[in-house]
Amino acid sequence: MLESFTVRKTTQQEKADRIPYLTCSMLEAVNTCPKWGIIHSVQAKVFTVGYRQMALEAGSLMHEVFSVLNFYQVGAIQGLYQHMDHHAALLFTAERWETIKGDVFEKKLDDQRSLERLALRTIGSSDFYDDPEDKNRTLANLEHCALELINYWLMNMRDFNIYISDVDDPSAPIGIEQSLDVVFEIVDAGGECKDIRLIGLIDAVYQNPTTKNISTGEYKTASSMNDAWRDAFKTRHQITGYQAALAAYFDTSLITGNTILLGSAVPVRKTTAPVQHFTIERDAEHTRNFLNTCLFTQRIIDEYSDGADALEAPMFTHSCNRYFRPCSQLDLCASAFEDQAVMYEQMLTKPELSPSEVKAFLQNS
């Protein structure tokens, strides 16, 4: 069990050596089912599937809309247009940002119309397209969701200032899609030391202009904004891990331990709120639980992640029908063990990293 810990940025040498790391997606996947989590999230091996992951695609696009709202905050409200342009071009590419921005800032439209144009151009300039099999996550529904998000943001979130590390240097870091790449140096009750590297991506970092206190912001999409969805964040390790990692980047006296979670329903429904936000608080006990889970997860990964050893990992069958869809590895796990080795060799390795991994490696290189 954990006795004490410190957290620091990952060194350039550690990055060059590509030391192993965890992401919160790996943490959740391995603890959902070690066999599936190691093969799918750690080894990044998949079967060719015939369907799109619409929830991930729609959620990713709505995260882009949320980022545009934060860039508008930096430019139009905090008055740092050069900071806005520099970092938006890095996130979207210069060409796409020019398409999104258009003449919005030149015409000096009111906030409502400006944000509507920016959001609709963000969606229109993406590579998202409708799937005939999914009637909920459509372009029309995402546009409706974006307009509801704008209305809510203007009434509730407009005064949340984005963290700016240097107001005189537009290229200096700002608190929009803040990448994390840290090492937790953990000492257990027996005096043994263990390092856990964590990579992540914080959607927003806010700083109170008066007190200079730091809080974080996370944006999520869901099928509905109900109590069960909201309650899940009381303990979710992603929020805890990101809060704990902030100590590697900011003076701990300024870190509030609070995360402002903003959620949107896709599609917008008449029976539930389309958007809501609430504060999540984290303390030392939450961090202790998170790091103990990291240590447990890393032990499982170390034991089973070497090639086909993953086939020997524990299989948690209660998760074989997650979210009312059979697991993508169900055929593998249901086969005779000698056949599993053949199927495993035929699986593809995903060439792409997750967004948090890509941005962590690019921004921290």
pLDDT digits (tens, 9 = 90+) for 301-348: 999 999 999 999 999 999 998 877 788 899 999 999 999 999 999 898
**Euclidean distance between CA atoms 272 and 287, whole angstroms:** 32
Asked, for residue 312, whether it belongs to a domain, the answer is no
Statement: residue 365 has pLDDT above 50: no
Angle between helices 94-101 and 111-124 (to 10 degrees): 140
Asked, for residue 333, whether it belongs to a domain, the answer is no
**Euclidean distance between CA atoms 298 and 333, whole angstroms:** 22
Asked, for residue 106, whether it belongs to a domain, the answer is yes
Neighbouring CB atoms inside 10 A of 189's CB total 9
We report the CATH number of the domain holding residue 21 as 3.90.320
Asked, for residue 320, whether it belongs to a domain, the answer is no
What are 108-161's pLDDT values in tens digits?
789 999 999 999 999 999 999 999 989 999 999 999 999 999 999 999 999 999
CA distances from 158 to 87, 152, 155 (A): 19, 9, 7
Query: 267 preceded by cis ω (within 30°)?
Result: yes
For 307, left (φ over 0), alpha (ψ -120 to 50), or beta? Answer: left
The values of phi and psi at residue 299, to 5°, are -65, -40
- By CB atoms closer than 10 A (0-12, 13-18, 19+), residue 222 is middle
What are 34-82's pLDDT values in tens digits?
999 999 999 999 887 656 788 889 999 999 999 999 999 999 999 999 9
Asked, for residue 344, whether it belongs to a domain, the answer is no
Statement: residue 84 has pLDDT above 70: yes
Asked, for residue 303, whether it belongs to a domain, the answer is no
Asked, for residue 281, whether it belongs to a domain, the answer is yes
Global confidence as pTM:
0.92
Asked whether the beta carbons of 220 and 261 are under 8 A apart, the reply is yes
Give me the domain span that covers residue 284. Answer: 2-42+50-296+356-363
Tokens standing for 357? 């991994």
How many domains does the chain divide into?
1
Asked, for residue 254, whether it belongs to a domain, the answer is yes
